[in-house]
Amino acid sequence: MFVSASTECFPELSPPEILQILVDLQFTAVELAVHEEGGFVRPSEVLADIDKAAHFCRDTHRLDIAGLNVQLAAEGEAYYKQFEAISKMAKVIKVVTIIIPSAELGTPFNEEIERLRRLVNIASLDGAVVCVKTEIGRMTEDPSTAVVLCDNVKGLRLSLDPSHYIAGPHQDANYDKVFPYVQHVHLRDSTKETLQVRVGQGEVDYGRLLQQLAKAKYDRALSVNMEPIEGLDHRAEMRKIRLLLDSLL
């Protein structure tokens, strides 16, 4: 396992500024946000010129790329064309993990299965692995449903964000069942009342989490995904969680 940080941690900064800060904070890997709004690179830009987008994403100040965190605003066939372009870019920049949100609550189960199967099939052609984020307000907010999705879509994996199980509506549920399906991990500190709190003031048991991941033979990124909290020194918080995770590895 190794410690990474998402470019989503610094939503107000430009890509070069984010990368320089992560280097200064002594991170060795970065997760790139591929969003139409506020991303490191836009899905529409990737579709327009895969090689240009790949060249831009490769310029990471020697940080390894832990994964692509993808949010698509397109609909219909345009949605899949953008995803296919991102998958091809992932192959060019030698990234395996593509993280996507699951469908919102209320989406018909079979409809979501069909969408995920199509995305997994597209990614598999480029040697990439699709993983859905465990997230409040989406089908994966329930650990049992997250596992059922993976069982019904061959090759689908999970991006585990324990904060959404600690603060979400299933906060009392045991989520150990998801660990064998984990392809990626997002981390911050949280309480049952608040999704993100100051590092060290929450209920995330990082030691147990890493033990469970190790038991499942997980050997990939622990990706910090923390938004700035008003009144706190965000860079100091980022440094604190990096040091904490490094000390446990």
Query: Residue 61 has what pLDDT?
Result: 86
What average pLDDT does the chain have? Answer: 96
- Average confidence (pLDDT) over 11-24: 95
What would the mean pLDDT of 126-147 be, rounded to a whole number?
97
pLDDT score, position 133: 97
What is the model's pLDDT at position 38? Answer: 86
Mean pLDDT of 67-94: 96
Residue spans per domain, the chain: 2-248
Q: What is the pLDDT of residues 168-220, one digit of tens each?
A: 999 888 899 999 999 999 999 999 999 999 999 999 999 999 999 999 999 99
Over residues 81-96, the pLDDT tens digits come to 999 999 999 999 999 9
50: tokens are: 């895969």
Buried-exposed string 30-49: b where 16+ CB fall within 10 A, e elsewhere: bbbbbbeeebbbbbebbbee
Q: What is the mean predicted confidence (pLDDT) over 17-42? A: 96
Beta-carbon contacts of 14 under 8 Å, excluding residues fewer than 6 positions away, are: none
User: Are the CB atoms for 88 and 126 separated by under 8 Å?
Assistant: yes
CA distances from 123 to 34, 90, 211 (A): 15, 9, 30
pTM as predicted: 0.95
- H-helix or E-strand spanning residue 146: helix 143-152
Query: Distance (Å, rounded) from C-alpha 64 to C-alpha 62?
Result: 6
Architecture of the domain spanning 2-248: Alpha-Beta Barrel (3.20)
d(CA 157, CA 227): 25
Model pLDDT for residues 30-58, shown as the tens digit of each residue: 999 999 998 999 999 999 999 999 999 99
Spatial separation of the C-alpha atoms in residues 166 and 134, rounded to whole Å: 11
Q: Residue 173 has what pLDDT?
A: 84
Q: Are 211 and 126 in contact (CB under 8 A)?
A: no
